[in-house]
Amino acid sequence: MTSDKKFIVAITGASGTIYAIRLLKNLLEGPNHVILIISDGGIRVLEHETIFTCDSSMQDFLALEGTRFHSRSSLEIFSQHNFSAGPASGSFIHNGMVIAPCSMKTLSAVASGFADNLLTRSADVCLKEKRPLILLPRETPLNLIHLENMTKACRAGATIMPPCPSFYSFPQTVEALADSVVARILDHLGVQNNLVKRWSNL
């Protein structure tokens, strides 16, 4: 029996790619198989907010970010255009999907079932198969359309987790701030972590 798990992480074209990077780092440091789906907009934002370039290897980029890959971890990367990838099918078994960050365009597609690419199709599959789907919506302020789309996605089974860092543990770095959000994601995925001090331990 193996404890290895399989997760999908998706990056869309909203600011906040640090959340995906820190999530990938923590998942790949455990015995997990991670499938990464990056939208076209997500690639552009990733290049703008980090040292990643289209010529970079994601493995090398994550290593530069300090990731110590577990001997049983693995990473597969797909563009939004690859409809033949496993996550597009309900017969592909995994332990949950996280869209971090989640643009309002992607939120709208998920809420309305508009599965026009691998990323939104994978999310749609999560909902129909009753698998965990966590959305980190990145926008402020929110208009009524945004709020209604979040409500629709939540009613369909998604977890809406706005990336709101906590401050009660007195984070000293931007990474520590991001990790206070990543810790909550990992909790909802059932992945043990010690990224932040628990409230009862303060």
Annotation: binding site for FMN: 13-15, 39, 103-106, 138
Annotated binding site for dimethylallyl phosphate: 168, 184
Q: Which two structure tokens, joined as six digits, stand for 158? A: 């998604």
Contact between 36 and 116 (Cβ < 8 Å):
no
The token pair that represents 184 in the structure block: 């909550």
Instruction: Specify the amino acid at residue 194.
Output: N
Binding region = 13-15, 39, 103-106, 138, 168, 184
Query: Which residues make beta-bridge pairs with 159?
Result: 134
SS3 state of residue 196: coil
CA atoms within 13 A of residue 135's CA, in its CB half-sphere: 33
